[in-house]
Amino acid sequence: MKTAHKAGAAGAGAIVLACAFIQPWEGLWTTAKVDTIGTGRPVTWCYGETEGPVKVGQKFTPKQCEDMLAAKLPRYNDEISRCIHVPISDKTRAAFISFAYNVGSAGFCRSSSARRLNAGDYRGACDGLMQWTRAQGKVVRGLVNRRTKERQLCLEGLTDVDVNRAAKADRGPVPAAHHYRWTDYVRNWWRIFVSKISL
């Protein structure tokens, strides 16, 4: 499960990680308010939720907010999985889910991180997250801090041996290096010699 890169076969562990990771970065708002940073200044509540017929001042419990986030993240996992064509670990996937939850799944799929990832540049994909630190044209310290932690989580996932194993499986078995001995050269020379005599 950790290394599969299809939406139906991967994501449960990553979603759990992402849910815990996202909560402190989004912040908990049990009373709906206007998001003064987000594009269009939408009404926001709980952990950065903006979808639904909710009005400013509407109340939620922490449990409702946590359940709402946990129910929504599988959608983000499915959406970003459509543009991930290489095996990744749960930690790396969780970092991308967090990123997508913040900027949108389409934003992730159009990003240099997605392009680098599918080109096999895993580290470059993690580093690419740091390009998304602006809101309304200005660098936001909170976004810098979040991207730094997302990048860190993404990089931690690159050390997962299961990812390396899955990547090799996708490419097929790697032939073992053959170390020639002097008898191999003699044997090859003799085959060539015999074949020329028989002509």
Nearest to 76 by CA among 105, 49, 46, 51: 105
Is-catalytic flag, 67?
no
In the chain, the largest separation of any two C-alpha atoms, in whole Å, equals: 96
Is-catalytic flag, 184?
no
Which one of the listed residues 35, 79, 121, 156 is annotated catalytic? Answer: 35
114-117: long-range pairs with CB below 8 Å, 24+: 114/80, 114/83, 114/84, 117/84, 117/86, 117/88
| C-beta separation of 95 from 151 below 8 A | yes
| C-beta separation of 40 from 21 below 8 A | no
Please list, residue by residue across 140-174, b when 16 or more beta carbons sit within 10 angstroms of its beta carbon and e when fewer do.
Answer: eeebeebbebbbebbbebbebeebeebbeeeeeee
Catalytic positions, please? 26, 35
